[in-house]
Amino acid sequence: AQKVTQAQTEISVVEKEDVTLDCVYETRDTTYYLFWYKQPPSGELVFLIRRNSFDEQNEISGRYSWNFQKSTSSFNFTITASQVVDSAVYFCALSEAVDNFNKFYFGSGTKLNVKP
């Protein structure tokens, strides 16, 4: 079973539209961490945010916001007023403890196309 599911393979929006990228995770741990990464066409993954399982406060950073809901095991990412530079593949990831050390799982990514 997939640990991290990003059901949206590809999304296309027009510049200035808001867009939400979905992420659903699966874990039995009570302590875990969730991440979002951006991979622009240049290929290098860029860290965006880390949340721990005990902090369900939503977070906003500029045009980016994240909605963490343990009840639905979701950690969705919203870009407000999207820009062409937001075009990239976005990955959600989960870190959980397995056999006394943490393992890291990435989703399959959502490709976001922002058109001018």
Partner 1 sequence: EAGVVQSPRYKIIEKKQPVAFWCNPISGHNTLYWYLQNLGQGPELLIRYENEEAVDDSQLPKDRFSAERLKGVDSTLKIQPAELGDSAVYLCASSPGQGSSTYEQYFGPGTRLTVT
Interface with partner 1 (CB under 8 A): 4, 33, 35, 37, 42-47, 50, 52, 91, 93, 95, 101-104, 106-109
Q: Which is nearer to partner 1, 34 or 79 (CB)?
A: 34
Q: How near is the Cβ of 16 to partner 1 at its closest, in Å?
A: 28
Please, are residues 106 and 93 in contact by the beta-carbon 8 Å criterion?
yes
Q: How near is the Cβ of 40 to partner 1 at its closest, in Å?
A: 11
Q: Which is nearer to partner 1, 15 or 33 (CB)?
A: 33
* Calpha distance 103→97 (Å, rounded): 6
Q: How near is the Cβ of 33 to partner 1 at its closest, in Å?
A: 5
Please, are residues 17 and 30 in contact by the beta-carbon 8 Å criterion?
no
Q: Which is nearer to partner 1, 10 or 17 (CB)?
A: 10
* Calpha distance 74→96 (Å, rounded): 15
β-pairing, 110-115 with 10-14?
parallel
